[in-house]
Structure 1
């Protein structure tokens, strides 16, 4: 048997599980159903998952559900009871316990005091949020291989997982691989189901990109870079501040390229409050005065 082929086969099977989870987070966790999705024995598949992914399936589900929950808390006024059900919790009490364990505060406290509030307060006061700054710098071109994603930006992790499986199968993933996504639409003006984005991992210029993966590039020019600390799902307020305050007061002009994000650490082994993301807004290159 070819060991590489066997590893690839297991990764692809478990990649189907991750995709299924993203689409069914509001449903009860059924280990037997997940075993069917993976086409593996219910006696062994979760051990394989833990060994390859570095976390149990229960931890993955909890992480993804709370990821969605932070987005609802930061960007909607949904009551906690309703929000809990949308995220797969049977009641507000069980959701609140899980949320407090992960974030150190209750859901309502997070809605009122989470890091997204700093950007909204700053925009209202026409100031910079405490602890954040924007740097304008040249971002070297990065070649990536990945997949298109349509729908909620919160679910782009599914495209990342599928891209990773395809690239890992070809030995194109390493410690230096960079995880980057570009976002084509404004979620406040485009229906969620129509939002378009793309996620991928960096690859060398010489690397062959095999379908269904697509090759794309980001960078290669000046960008305004805002380093965001905290959960991915709460960055909408940071975008509103970046465009609505920083850009219009900066003297810079936006470039003809979509905004992109680079994820600097791994949510599997990083506390949500410590996740680091560079939001990169392409800018037009300044022209010399005549």
Structure 2
């Protein structure tokens, strides 16, 4: 009688199958969502695929497709200057009104305003920078963090899709839990480097025993003294906080940044909260 495969090996195999599905969705954003086809990509029965995907990813395949399409739409609005109706159709919406409603929920502002704000960049006269003070910056000694990471080259807005693949990888290895922390590392200044050349990493905290596999590698985010600012609001507005930190706070702080990139820790789950409630800890390493 054949013995069943050990549970860890089964979970690992499930995770790899779902990774393939996430990559397939990202590569076919303009095609209709065909659950039977996705089940075939994962080599799961169509009767069970949907439940397995949701159990591992925390969202349905349709949710993943919708989220990745809206992320692409945000980039098209800012980088390409496409009109809202064209972007809405490409994102799979039959009307601008429906697209606007969903886009606002995802990104915190309607498409036209988002595009205009992105073209201008953070305004020196924005409310957060002048009319009201930015939140306090704290100086903290942080512990190093061991993470599993996937490298990305391209617009920072595309990092959400990379996190989806990393989430599937971690779920298949039973590495996700209440203590798991998510980090993003951006190596380049988006105002100085073309979007297609931006370098970044999506990271999830892991234990010392975890090993990399395929595109996932293991690295340590160094600890030490950091300037820390908590940004509240959509990720699209993070650049405003960075601008304030580097233009206003750092030159008068008496500190010098270390020769390492800033790190973001995402303190809550953007899939379960509106954009105005998202919390991001910006960590600037200090010499």
Same fold (TM over 0.5): yes
Matches within 5 A, 1:230-249: 230-249=233-252
Check whether the contact 1:26–1:86 (CA below 8 A) recurs between aligned residues: yes
Give 1:184 deviation, angstroms.
1.1
Matches within 5 A, 1:26-175: 26-70=30-74, 78-100=82-104, 106-108=110-112, 120-122=123-125, 127=130, 130=133, 132-175=135-178
Match of 1:23 among 7, 23, 27: 27
Check whether the contact 1:27–1:88 (CA below 8 A) recurs between aligned residues: no
SS in 1 for 2:218: strand
SS in 2 for 1:133: coil
Check whether the contact 1:26–1:85 (CA below 8 A) recurs between aligned residues: no
Match of 2:255 among 240, 252, 255: 252
Q: Could you list the runs of 5+ residues in structure 1 that have no partner in the other structure?
A: 285-290
Check whether the contact 2:57–2:171 (CA below 8 A) recurs between aligned residues: no
Aligned to 2:284: 281
In structure 2, the CA distance between the partners of 1:62 and 1:78, relative to structure 1 (3 Å rule), is same
Match of 1:207 among 206, 209, 224: 209
Distance (Å, rounded) in 1 between the aligned partners of 2:122 and 2:83: 22
Give 1:256 deviation, angstroms.
0.3
Let me know the Cα RMSD of the aligned residues.
3.4
In structure 2, the CA distance between the partners of 1:143 and 1:103, relative to structure 1 (3 Å rule), is closer
Structure 1 position 8 matched with structure 2 position 23: no
Give 1:261 deviation, angstroms.
0.8
- With the length of structure 1 as denominator, give the TM-score of the two structures: 0.79
Aligned to 2:195: 192
Q: Mean Cα displacement is larger for which, 26-35 or 125-134? A: 125-134
Residues 156-179 of structure 1: per-residue CA shift (max 9 Å, x gap): 233333334444444444321211
Check whether the contact 1:230–1:273 (CA below 8 A) recurs between aligned residues: yes
Distance (Å, rounded) in 1 between the aligned partners of 2:55 and 2:210: 29
Distance (Å, rounded) in 2 between the aligned partners of 1:9 and 1:43: 18
Distance (Å, rounded) in 1 between the aligned partners of 2:133 and 2:121: 7
Check whether the contact 2:146–2:221 (CA below 8 A) recurs between aligned residues: yes
Give 1:66 deviation, angstroms.
3.2
Give 1:280 deviation, angstroms.
1.1
In structure 2, the CA distance between the partners of 1:168 and 1:86, relative to structure 1 (3 Å rule), is same
- With the length of structure 2 as denominator, give the TM-score of the two structures: 0.80
Q: Could you list the runs of 5+ residues in structure 2 that have no partner in the other structure?
A: none
**Matched residue pairs, number?**
282
